[in-house]
A and B are shown apart, each in its own frame.
Chain A
């Protein structure tokens, strides 16, 4: 009987230590490695998306010596622009928002994975280490054409 209680204690203690280690790794990844999630980046009126800066000019523009900003508008069922060309090795800030329903913004093979929620601006930063072509996929259900909604990101 008492043996069961001892096992129980050691099992649970090991478990708690493991969980704390996992959490530690998470804190480390956030603080030290600079892996970030999309956070608060502004609100807008989706009905006026096309005339709200920066979304009035979708596309790629240089913002610093080795920094670029990519502005993307999402709508059912596509992206503007649908083909994005960026230099490899540069710091790219992706800024997106939706004109109608919720869409996804997932660049395959990268960490860029955001929800585009009408009324909200989504933002995240990424550097393509190597040149290559990536699918840009809408990975949130947005209607009958959802499985057609995609684009392309080319690092060159």
Chain B
């Protein structure tokens, strides 16, 4: 093999190592710290919520809160808007820089962090002052203070700037290396955030054209169904924006961490392209029970929703195969013997293995949601939080926890503090979330509504009691697990032993190298795939917006909080 083909076969261009300059690492560190701080901030009210479903009221210990819903807004915003995107804003550009062995653009790097920080300040102000208790979905015509919407916009802008940074690096690399395949590690990061960029546009329109002008009085009335549709246009794909960074770790980093390899370069690229194409045109599946949208449109989206399950199946296969290879390399035998030989005592691997297991349950319950007839039984019951605490709340959150166990040492040059405790933390959270989800799903099947302050509710049903108690027990364990995580990370940052930290990211080689000629080269044509994605989106949403929908701007703002 010639030198060029060897480099092209690798997941990163320069396997020998590459370090970003300290100033750039500092920006990435702060971006990530914001994320993990948000996660920690979010779990306190999470505990209060879980206990409320178990009929235990601890809200009196939160004297600064005006209502359960103020806290619930904080929980949702902190955990799925700030935590997830802060992480990705640092993680993806870091991997892209590493893959190409090139520096990031420093201006864009700090601009992205600045937008994220300012956005957070606005969000904290608006939520803490009680002017934005609209929950993270912020359905009009409940009307938040303008700073809430501006805060969300700034967080979204920070993700665009992070993408711009990756694209700048990519374009300058491409100029110098016209014939080479994009390193796989860079490819998956780029497609992930390109998908999110397209996906974020409808909600950006929603915020900039409607909600912000409406909240300051320039627009007198808004159309709640239109706002809701634009929100879910973004809102389904947003779950893939949370998930894909976790997939990046599962596909490309975990194989190395368990001693295996990436099974197939082309399958990995194919899967990420499918996510780019299919994540967005599926939003109506969140609106199965909405009026004003025809059954036909809902059905089209239901079909595409089943389509987007396919790349996740491929992921299950690919990741399992990499794990098996790792287990067998460690001497695992027999059909399942390799599972025992996986490095369960490595805290980074453990958290992510548990994340994968939780995700199997999350995926199954997700298929049920997508079946729109079943959906009528469980829509907006506690089944839904039961489901997504196994997806974003575990598959994603536990993966990001696992990544932190190598990433924080890598970024700070300090050794992870107390590996044993890190193992305990992940197991506690995992066991907790299974109990929690069991409780929420059970009560949800009996119709317990989500988003209620149950302990003070004006109605009850004894069939919810068992599920509620399980929710409380599981939620308490989850709380303990994540609190331990916070302690471990804080101790590592402040008191971790200098040195002894990983010097490089754990990147893996692929078993089958990318081809340098033939049709597979087209996988790298990002412009083409973005164009196809846009066409699919127009097919899935065009008829609705252009033909069927009659705008009905009738709603002034209401502040019932």
Contacts and interface: CB of A to CB of B under 8 A. Distances in A.
Interface of A: 1, 4-5, 7-8, 11-12, 15-16, 19, 22-23, 25-26, 29-30, 35-41, 43, 45-47, 76-77, 100-102, 104, 106, 108-109, 111, 113-123, 135, 137-150
B234 to A, nearest CB: 18
A146 B452 contact: yes
Contacts of B452: 139, 146-147
Nearest to B453: A147
Given A76-B558, A146-B69, A114 B461 contact: no
Interface string B448-475: 0111111011110100000000000000
23 contacts: A11-B313, A12-B310, A15-B309, A16-B310, A30-B373, A35-B373, A37-B288, A39-B291, A40-B292, A47-B554, A77-B560, A115-B289, A115-B290, A115-B291, A117-B290, A117-B291, A120-B225, A137-B447, A144-B560, A145-B560, A147-B452, A147-B453, A148-B458
Contact of B372 (A4, A37, A118): A37
Contacts of A77: 560
Contacts of B371: 22, 25-26
Nearest to B559: A143
Given A37-B295, A43-B292, A117-B224, A104 B303 contact: no
A147 B457 contact: yes
B298 A37 contact: yes
B313 A113 contact: no
Candidate in A104, A122, A135, A140 with the most chain B CB atoms within 10 angstroms: A140
Given A5-B264, A139-B379, 9 more contacts: A37-B372, A38-B290, A39-B293, A40-B292, A46-B555, A47-B554, A143-B561, A147-B452, A147-B457
A11 to B, nearest CB: 5
A109 to B, nearest CB: 6
B560 A117 contact: no
Nearest to B447: A108
B307 to A, nearest CB: 8
B128 interface: no
A135 B317 CA distance: 44
B267 A142 contact: no
A76 to B, nearest CB: 5
Interface residues of B, number: 69
B302 interface: yes
Candidate in A11, A25, A76, A138 with the most chain B CB atoms within 10 angstroms: A11
Contacts of A29: 373
Interface of B: 67-69, 133, 135, 139, 141-142, 223-225, 228, 263-264, 267, 287-295, 298-299, 302-303, 306-307, 309-310, 313-314, 317-318, 321, 367, 371-373, 376-377, 379-381, 446-447, 449-454, 456-459, 461, 511-512, 548, 550, 552, 554-555, 558, 560-561
B293 A147 contact: no
Given A45-B554, A113-B289, A22 B306 contact: yes
Contact of B377 (A113, A115, A143): A113
A34 B169 CA distance: 54
B379 A113 contact: yes
A100 B287 CA distance: 19
A138 B458 CA distance: 11
Contacts of A11: 313, 317
B225 A106 contact: no
Contact of A119 (B225, B313, B318, B449): B225
A104 B378 CA distance: 13
A31 to B, nearest CB: 10
Contacts of B453: 146-147
B303 A102 contact: no
A26 to B, nearest CB: 6
- Closest 10 A-B residue pairs measured CB to CB? A143-B560, A139-B449, A148-B458, A15-B313, A122-B291, A108-B447, A147-B457, A139-B380, A147-B452, A120-B291
B454 A114 contact: no
A117 B228 contact: yes
Contacts of A106: 379-381, 447, 449
B552 A119 contact: yes
A137 B294 contact: no
A120 B135 CA distance: 22
A96 to B, nearest CB: 9
Given A38-B290, A123-B291, A150 B459 contact: yes
Contacts of A121: 291
Contact of A118 (B314, B376, B447, B554): B554
A43 B552 contact: yes
A111 B376 CA distance: 6
Contacts of A137: 447, 449, 459
